[in-house]
Amino acid sequence: MREILFDTETTGFDPFSGDRVIEIGCVEMINKVLHKDSTFHVYINPERDVPAAAVEVHGLTGDFLADKPVFTDVVDGFLDFVGDDGILVAHNAEFDMKFINFELEKAGYPVLGSDRFVDTLAIARTKYPGQPNSLDALCRRLEIDNSHRSLHGALLDAEILAEVYLELTVGRQAGLDLSLMTGAGAIDVERKSWPKRSFPVSDSERAAHDAFVRNSVENAVWLK
């Protein structure tokens, strides 16, 4: 199964009010194995200003983004990476899906179906009801090192999310399940059947045992 852990950074909260995607980061996972060398990452010129409040979150300024490609220049690369059937995993996926589909529709492309998205925030809320379930909170709870994350960044957040997602779904020890090993990594153990053996107790051994039981514990209930 191919899963794409992804994140977006934006100019704000609502694409229908003029906010745009300014960064996309994706990392590939196949059969719950993370492939950090298989990524998609791009900065995008939003063709508008970036509010100061947004810059405080991700550090991406209008000046930095001014010479970056617009969404229509990167959309084909993004769609090629996610493919036709890859599952898209995001934290608060509704937010990212809303922005990505807005950009796709604006560029004249079909939107991505909601059935392709998995929301790790929803998974975390089910597993840890009533607790903080932000990405930072989950990293603390699951003991995942995110000390290198000072600002939000789409690719970095996608890589951190991959570790969180594995913890939420299969757990850190999943790779130790030897029953899942096949091929070159498997150990072939020949199972043998051994004849059943009996070890009869001699009369002298039984007499010694009975004497020990009678004399070892005073008023033992099992002697009454």
Task: Kindly list the catalytic residues.
Answer: 152
Summarize the annotated binding site as residue ranges.
7, 9, 58, 157
| β-bridge mates for residue 28, sequence order | 4, 35
SS3 149: coil
Could you list the residues known to form a binding site for substrate, using ranges: 7, 9, 58, 157
User: Hey, CA dihedral for 112, 114, 117, 120, is it positive or negative?
Assistant: positive
Give the residue from 106, 131, 112, 111 showing the smallest Cα distance to 121.
Answer: 131
3-class DSSP state of 89: strand
State the binding site for a divalent metal cation: 7, 9, 157
How far apart CA 109 and CA 115 sit, in angstroms, is 18
CB 120, CB 161: distance < 8 Å: yes
Q: In this structure, are strands 2-10 and 87-90 parallel, antiparallel, or unpaired? A: parallel
Helix (H) or strand (E) holding 34, with range, is strand 33-43
Q: CA 154 to CA 27: how far, in whole Å?
A: 10
